[in-house]
Amino acid sequence: MKPSVLIAAAGAALLAALPAAAADLAAQGKDLFAANCAACHNADASGIAGVAPPLANALRERLGAPAGQAYLANVLVHGLAGPIESQGQSFNGIMPPFAALPDASLLAMMAWLNTQNGQAATAGGAEALVKARAERKTPGAVRKLREAR
């Protein structure tokens, strides 16, 4: 099988193994976000000026495209570093990688972030995550993905 076929199959298997329906998944993601991300991004993902960018609404356009879903998965797995602009604000911080969290937790947070940006909970999900996990990237390389869209 080609690697792309394998990744698609792994993604589908991962999704099928998830116990939760899409709505439950997003609800779990909200709780996981509060526990893991809110200190920097705020519990409602509205961001904190000078600390970390907004993630609710700010990623609408990006998450509407497959490349944006891949970007989100890569930020979670590998982190992000370097100067970025978001909604007229500048940030130049370091987003730590969250690769140590299980797939189900990362997928749930991706699902919730999708719903906060006008996308279906399962818009990107499992396949993007499996692919990001299979790659080695520095936080700086992930920032290049952000620019490359």
Residues within the interface to ligand HEC (CB under 6 A): 36-37, 39-41, 52-53, 55, 58, 72, 75-76, 80-82, 84, 86, 91-96, 98, 109, 143, 146
8 versus 101: smaller Cβ distance to ligand HEC: 101
Rounded least distance, CB 101 to ligand HEC, Å: 7
86 versus 138: smaller Cβ distance to ligand HEC: 86
Q: What is the DSSP string of 29-88?
A: HHHHHHHHTHHHH-TTS--BTTTB---TTTTHHHHTSHHHHHHHHHHHHH-EES-EEETT
87 within 8 A of 56, measured Cβ to Cβ: no
95 versus 130: smaller Cβ distance to ligand HEC: 95
Rounded least distance, CB 125 to ligand HEC, Å: 14
Pairwise CA distance, residues 97 & 36, whole Å:
11
Question: Which helix (DSSP H) or strand (DSSP E) does residue 91 occupy?
Answer: strand 89-91
15 versus 108: smaller Cβ distance to ligand HEC: 108
